[in-house]
Structure 1
Amino acid sequence: MDCSFFFSLLYFFLLSVGMSAALVADDRRTYIIHMDKSAMPSLFPDHHSWYMSTLSSLSSLNGVLPTHLYTYNHVLDGFSAVLCRSQLDQLEKMSGHVATYPETFGKLQTTHTPKFLGLEPNVGLWPEANFGDDMIIGVVDTGIWPESESFRDDEMPPVPERWRGTCESGVEFNSSNCNRKLIGARSFSKGMKEAGLNISKTDDYDSPRDYDGHGTHTSSTAAGSPVQDASYFNYAKGTAIGMAPKARLAMYKVLFFNYTYEAAATDTIAAMDQAIADGVDIMSLSLGFFETPFEQNPIAVAAFTAMEKGIIVVCAAGNGGPHGFTILNGAPWITTVGAGTIDRDYAAEVTLGDIGDLTVSGKSIYPLDLLVSRVPIYFGYGNRSKEICDDYSLDPKDVAGKYVFCDSGVNTFETDRAGAAGAIFSTDDSIFLQPGDFNNPYVAVIPEVGNSIKDYLIKAKNTTVSIKFQLTVLGTKPAPIVVWFSSRGPDRKSPWILKPDILAPGVNILAAYAPNRGIAPIGDDYDYLLSDFALLSGTSMACPHVAGISALLKAVHRDWSPAAIRSALMTTAYVIDNVNGTIIDMTTGIAGTPLDYGSGHIDPIKAIDPGLVYDLEAQDYINYLCGMNYTNQQIKIITKRSNFSCDQASLDLNYPSFMILLNNTNTTSYIFKRVLTSVVNSSSVYRAVVNAPSGMKVVVEPPAIAFDGKYSTAKFSMTVEVDAGVGNVRIQSDSIVNYGYLSWNEVKGKHVVRSPVVAAFAPYPRA
């Protein structure tokens, strides 16, 4: 329901029932309620259910019911709600209530993804990890703009003594461009030059300097220093800050402008090889090569060595979605990241009529603070041979200098052709629009709002429109959503492992940019405005979020392997969005699946303390390669070993997710054998909890496992039987058939170790 319509109804309701109901409405306030989780009655399956039941038990006053806003699982135990005073009095007397705080307001102080991920300056992962201090993140990308404020080294301690890298000189770049934040910068272009690229003729820099802005953006996302009052033309205004703001950065440039921004495999391997030698702790690669057998994939080969050295390699899943089998970087020793939205959007406020008869809001990312006040608006209703805003439906004599309302979707070509001053589009597709779509002053409204505008314009002839641009909206719902372009699994070359591993913010992310590179298109001729910060989207943006979070986890758990850190991220991820439904797929508008979002959306606060991990060593991956029927030669290329054994060949890798490939028979059965490792100091007991849909039978043995203390291990087996004729069956070659979850729940403890169990049709590749 449109907010203005709701409040209009509320206004007339208050007039009809008198002042007593008005006083009830005036008495309603938003509160944050802290609860004692240990007081939750055992009949509730989870704390959210308990909170909702508590709210529903409160009496209404003149028909006014409590309104639930959010359930908090991380930064505090409790929830927020809108309550009347009498309802609050009832709540405060209930068992389990700890404290209540009224809503407060302050100035926006962040560009929001840290807040969306639960990162707080005074509690949790940030202070415990000392904001990533002493961690070194190597970014393999398009270079870096060292003068950006995101790379200031204010109050940074000296460069770690273990650092072995350097800051090389080149075109428009020298060693003085590095500091205690940007501690290394190198450029790798020999392969591209051999392929015929003349870097100087492309206007790119034959040096680590960033010509495109992409590498600057990803670097600052991972570990940028805080920058106050950052924005994209006043959108998303706040303090821009990286995931690990005290971590060090090293740039390895391998991408140069050649109209497609391709990287040579030779350059990429050289860059990763150098990063290993320099001493990075994390590698972030927002690029990928076409999926080939692993020994032919430069990132997969180099990442294996990095893994053996204890380096965490995080890669973008690719932007080939929404179709299946589009995953890039699917090697199991790589953490593969898909992209989702956050609960922030950008808007304009539209007022119709000279005295503000109707005010609505819609999506807009038009970069100029344009004064639109009482400009004539055109809507050609009545008898028409074609929809308004269809190609060549507008007469320039009717619309020149006016705003146009289009009730049949987005057609910027037609409004531009006809010389309109701007346009308001009624569309279901506003969620897909990006900053570059707003080269002129457009506003996109959802059809429900569009119908209100249409009704008004039919009745009010010769009316005007006023528009206020550059608005940022927080708390949008639902969020996160799997964005349409994010590549989906299964991986064509390694379908026995569920990919992507995890979802992270990757839509309209604000971060540093090359200030001499045009970012905001303006006008019909697409001139470009410049900015120090940009809103960019892609799995490229999701990848450095996970790289930065991995740096924080590594700072806290120095002895954890890359597999342990990936496991912590995966088994603590969430699949429920901020409207308490399964994370949806932007393309279909319905619940997604683990082939879309992997184990779920990253949750840094929980990942710091996962309880148990599925750990892996190099030999485990070798056993997997053997199980894939890789030849000795192929394995030698990947592992750099000649004295390995395939006696333990197995496709059942000790991974934090479970994948069953269905065959053409009606029933498929598979037995998984896994090992869990405790990462807490005390002894513990866990019980298996299976959430399996119809058509999937899951049996876990033993159903309970015990651990003596930190680094003690326990084995279990899980038998999964899938009936392809029952349940969520879609017999397309690229469709998931069924999925459920296995959780290990700590007895008398807080830890829940959750893994998706997925059954899908997939090709059976051979190396």
Structure 2
Amino acid sequence: MENPTQMHAEYVFRKHNAGHPNVISVFLNKARKLHTTHSWDFMRLEKNGIVHRSSLWKKAEFGQDIIIANLDTGAWPESKSFSDKGFGPVPSRWKGICQKEHIDTGFVCNKKLIGARYFNKGYIVKGGKITASMNTPRDYNGHGSHTLSTAAGNIVHGASVLGLVNGTAKGGSPRARVAAYKVCWPPVHGSGCMDADILKAFDAAIHDGVDVITVSLGGKPSDYFDDGLAIGSFHAVKNGIVVVTSAGNRGPEPGTVTNVAPWIITVAASTLDRSFHASAEMQNGLVLKGASLSKPTLPEEKFHPLISAAQAKTANASVDDALRCKKGTLDPKKASGKILACLRGENTFIDKGHQAALAGAVGMILCNNETTGNEIFAVPQVLPAININYTDGVRVFDYIAASKDPRAYITGPETTLNIKPAPFMGVFSSVGPNTITPQILKPDITAPGVDIIAAYSEAVNPTGEDYDKRKSPFNVLSGTSMACPHVAGVVGLLKSLHPDWSPAAIRSAIMTTGRTRDNTFHPMRDATETDKATPFNYGAGHLRPNQAMNPGLVYDLTLNDYYDFLCTLGYNQKNMTLFSGTKSPHRCPKHQQSLNHLLNFNNPAITIPNISPSSPITITRRLKNVGSPGRYTARIRLPTRVFSAYVNPTVLEFDHVGQEKTFNLTIEVKDANELQDTYIFGELRWTDQVHYVRSPIAIASMSDISYKT
């Protein structure tokens, strides 16, 4: 086995070598799942396609020569998003390769896509079957091309999805170089992204000299020493590489957020102020707008018979299954020639449309249930279709029930901008609190993740269904997978502008400048638009790139801070070697063994999951000046009926860049009844009237966190 200072996938799956002197640790080779461009205008990097000289894009030269790596399903090298036209020589610090394939699929790297590798030994150990044609970094899924181009794809004019939504596609760092590390394969036992391969890819990316690693995948949260992504990302951060990950798509249930290590940036997903919409018009004059990206349109502009999908059920199908347009539940004799009203449920949007089409339906109105509320998606369906919200769905079913001859028409899709309110949270976006370390707020930030247009693989169709024979160089996808590379692209810009900033400083700059209000100046809401979203939904708020380049102050962290964090969790020397990568790991201070010390970890967010109602608690933070000299004053916002809180000192004066100062925050519970089985939220803000350095606060008095918010 090779040098133990390097982390290798073999540490994960060769359990019979656990006693070998060069093996640092052995843990289960767990499986991970993929978390499935008007964005930059929405986030003010440009306005109507014009880049202002004060924009982070302009200041950072569009991420010129930053190297962004993507751990995903590979890349489609022929995509215009990865063309090297106009690019100069590959940066001399690059040490990577374009991995030779077992058979020639024509995969060629260039001066934009400067490297590509694939890793599948861990997948094979888990029972995955690899054919010769699979041994390639080429993307046969589409997810990897989409996420990589979102982070750093070229500026591509005339991009469209199946001839619709024409416009200009671009990544967050469009002048950056990119490298694809293929770690995900066809699912086996529910997933195709294995820890062993992820670890190996991290090792390679570190060696190759990348600046940013974006990882839109994850699994069920686990202890850090048993989490390959947490270990791999720690080694990257140790080498000055920023790692950005997706929060997961298991929302809206509390405690579902994944990728919770404090050294990575964990990204939730929210909406844009753009919609791809169509209208469902009822014959009684009712017109309902919804999301649509259907290439086929109804053959004639006339009203067609409209029925509930339950009315088209087969004899053996249940009403509930037919209503959700599940496979084998729709009778062609009843559905043929009609528009079906289906209810959102377990099977995918695409499958519902397919089942409706198989049954002879001419169109589909997909109605949200109460849980999914106003979260509607534009999906490239195989028949004319529209997704409408819960309230409008009720109106459709009421119309069907009240009319003797209900009829409807679905218009073709159009693009609308300046939608309000926006953003609001995606209902699928995984939610905190952090179930591994409740004292660390996760997710960290939210970014656009709904109906995102980016490059796609032309080896597959845009729906992923076997019956769909269409191909498209671009596609629309939604998920925290799509939000993650938005942040990675902005990180590339910040790395270019501030090469001396640590990964923690960049994470802090992004978090403390986040926005918690939508474009109507109201607090950001969840997908129902009836409840306020909380830091467990959006972390520190919505990403604001231009503000992040000049945050004023940052909460910085050193490598020793991370080691002390692990010490506080009670990790033993063997566990610590996983992170240090050496047989002489960090020595834990004796006083670090109390979990109370986690509260003093210099995180930009403040989370107190177990405050005592009977005694005040004081936590410590330190701030570093990364801007001009300034005098910052503290302001704390917490419900005064529940808490008394004060900061000491209330004023911090900074004379020069790099100067650090410490402050204490003391909080005392005034009304313990208000804290029963719930979290209460607030914020701490430092300002010099130019910069606003904002930290979210979450407080509960639960000793056994119930995750009720």
Global fold match (TM > 0.5):
yes
Larger relative contact order, structure 1 or 2 (CA cutoff 8 Å, min sep 6): 2
Quick one: distance in 2 between partners of 1:618 and 1:194?
A: 33
What's the offset of the Cα at 1:408? Answer: 11
SS for the counterpart of 1:720 is strand
Quick one: distance in 2 between partners of 1:237 and 1:619?
A: 50
Match of 1:341 in 2: 271
Give the RMSD, CA atoms, in angstroms: 3.4
SS for the counterpart of 1:263 is strand
Q: How many residue pairs align between the two structures? A: 639
What's the offset of the Cα at 1:196? Answer: 3.2
Alignment of 1:301-320 (within 5 A): 301-320=231-250
> What are the superposed Cα offsets for residues 203-239 of structure 1, whole Å, 9 maximum, x if unpaired?
x621111111111111100000011121222443211
> What are the superposed Cα offsets for residues 591-634 of structure 1, whole Å, 9 maximum, x if unpaired?
01111111111110100100000011000111111111211221
Quick one: distance in 2 between partners of 1:588 and 1:361?
A: 17
Match of 2:39 in 1: 113
Match of 2:569 in 1: 628
What's the offset of the Cα at 1:347? Answer: 1.6
CA separation of 1:762/1:289 partners in 2, compared to 1, >3 Å: closer, same or farther? farther
Alignment of 1:186-585 (within 5 A): 186-200=117-131, 205-259=134-188, 260-351=190-281, 360-378=288-306, 400-403=336-339, 419-424=360-365, 427=368, 429=372, 431-435=374-378, 438-446=381-389, 465-520=408-463, 526-585=467-526
CA separation of 1:607/1:457 partners in 2, compared to 1, >3 Å: closer, same or farther? same
SS for the counterpart of 2:187 is coil
Match of 1:40 in 2: none
Identity %: 39
Which of 606, 626, 633 aligns to 1:679? It is 626
Alignment of 1:609-648 (within 5 A): 609-641=550-582, 642=584, 644-647=586-589
The higher radius of gyration belongs to 1
Match of 1:86 in 2: none
Quick one: distance in 1 between partners of 2:555 and 2:186?
A: 41
Match of 1:61 in 2: none
What's the offset of the Cα at 1:197? Answer: 2.3
Contact preservation (8 Å) 2:356, 2:364: yes
Contact preservation (8 Å) 2:296, 2:382: no
SS for the counterpart of 1:577 is coil
* Stretch of structure 1 that moved more, 637-646 or 301-310: 637-646
> What are the superposed Cα offsets for residues 349-394 of structure 1, whole Å, 9 maximum, x if unpaired?
34556xx9665533323232443311433469xx9xx999858999
What's the offset of the Cα at 1:448? Answer: 6.3
> What are the superposed Cα offsets for residues 441-482 of structure 1, whole Å, 9 maximum, x if unpaired?
233445766688789989998686543312122222222122
One-letter code of the match for 1:555? S
Alignment of 1:617-766 (within 5 A): 617-641=558-582, 642=584, 644-647=586-589, 649=592, 650-651=597-598, 652-662=600-610, 666-667=613-614, 669-681=616-628, 683-693=629-639, 694-722=641-669, 725-727=672-674, 729=675, 731=677, 736-746=678-688, 749-760=689-700, 761=702, 763=704
> What are the superposed Cα offsets for residues 609-660 of structure 1, whole Å, 9 maximum, x if unpaired?
0000001100011111111121122122212352533226231111101010
Quick one: distance in 2 between partners of 1:221 and 1:390?
A: 36
Quick one: distance in 2 between partners of 1:437 and 1:174?
A: 28
Quick one: distance in 1 between partners of 2:134 and 2:355?
A: 39
SS for the counterpart of 1:480 is coil
CA separation of 1:164/1:456 partners in 2, compared to 1, >3 Å: closer, same or farther? closer
Match of 1:104 in 2: none
CA separation of 1:236/1:724 partners in 2, compared to 1, >3 Å: closer, same or farther? farther
Quick one: distance in 2 between partners of 1:702 and 1:262?
A: 51
Contact preservation (8 Å) 1:140, 1:285: yes
> What are the superposed Cα offsets for residues 64-94 of structure 1, whole Å, 9 maximum, x if unpaired?
xxxxxxxxxxxxxxxxxxxxxxxxxxxxxxx
Match of 1:36 in 2: none
Quick one: distance in 1 between partners of 2:603 and 2:344?
A: 48
CA separation of 1:333/1:387 partners in 2, compared to 1, >3 Å: closer, same or farther? closer
Contact preservation (8 Å) 1:339, 1:483: yes
One-letter code of the match for 2:113? L
Quick one: distance in 1 between partners of 2:200 and 2:395?
A: 59
CA separation of 1:250/1:175 partners in 2, compared to 1, >3 Å: closer, same or farther? farther
Contact preservation (8 Å) 1:376, 1:462: no
CA separation of 1:433/1:199 partners in 2, compared to 1, >3 Å: closer, same or farther? farther
Match of 2:72 in 1: 141
Quick one: distance in 1 between partners of 2:324 and 2:113?
A: 51
What's the offset of the Cα at 1:126? Answer: 0.3
Quick one: distance in 2 between partners of 1:488 and 1:628?
A: 23
One-letter code of the match for 2:272? I
Contact preservation (8 Å) 2:298, 2:362: no
> What are the superposed Cα offsets for residues 300-345 of structure 1, whole Å, 9 maximum, x if unpaired?
2222221121111111122222222222221111111111111222
SS for the counterpart of 2:672 is coil
What's the offset of the Cα at 1:176? Answer: 6.8
Match of 1:42 in 2: none
One-letter code of the match for 1:707? F
Match of 2:7 in 1: none
Quick one: distance in 1 between partners of 2:324 and 2:494?
A: 54
What's the offset of the Cα at 1:420? Answer: 3.4
What's the offset of the Cα at 1:556? Answer: 0.4
Alignment of 1:58-137 (within 5 A): 111-120=37-46, 121-123=51-53, 124-137=55-68
Quick one: distance in 2 between partners of 1:275 and 1:719?
A: 42
Quick one: distance in 1 between partners of 2:614 and 2:537?
A: 24
SS for the counterpart of 1:258 is strand
SS for the counterpart of 1:318 is coil
Quick one: distance in 1 between partners of 2:373 and 2:70?
A: 33
Quick one: distance in 2 between partners of 1:391 and 1:640?
A: 51
One-letter code of the match for 1:487? S
CA separation of 1:438/1:721 partners in 2, compared to 1, >3 Å: closer, same or farther? farther
Contact preservation (8 Å) 1:322, 1:487: yes
Quick one: distance in 2 between partners of 1:720 and 1:758?
A: 12
Match of 2:5 in 1: none
What's the offset of the Cα at 1:293? Answer: 2.1
Contact preservation (8 Å) 1:375, 1:402: no
One-letter code of the match for 2:130? I
One-letter code of the match for 1:230? A
Structure 2: give runs of 5+ residues left out of the alignment: 1-36, 312-317
CA separation of 1:391/1:571 partners in 2, compared to 1, >3 Å: closer, same or farther? closer
Contact preservation (8 Å) 2:573, 2:585: no
> What are the superposed Cα offsets for residues 392-430 of structure 1, whole Å, 9 maximum, x if unpaired?
999976763133568999987996686432244565657
> What are the superposed Cα offsets for residues 714-735 of structure 1, whole Å, 9 maximum, x if unpaired?
11100122456344x452xxxx
What's the offset of the Cα at 1:151? Answer: 0.2
SS for the counterpart of 2:179 is strand
Match of 2:91 in 1: 160
CA separation of 1:349/1:320 partners in 2, compared to 1, >3 Å: closer, same or farther? closer
Match of 1:44 in 2: none
Match of 1:39 in 2: none
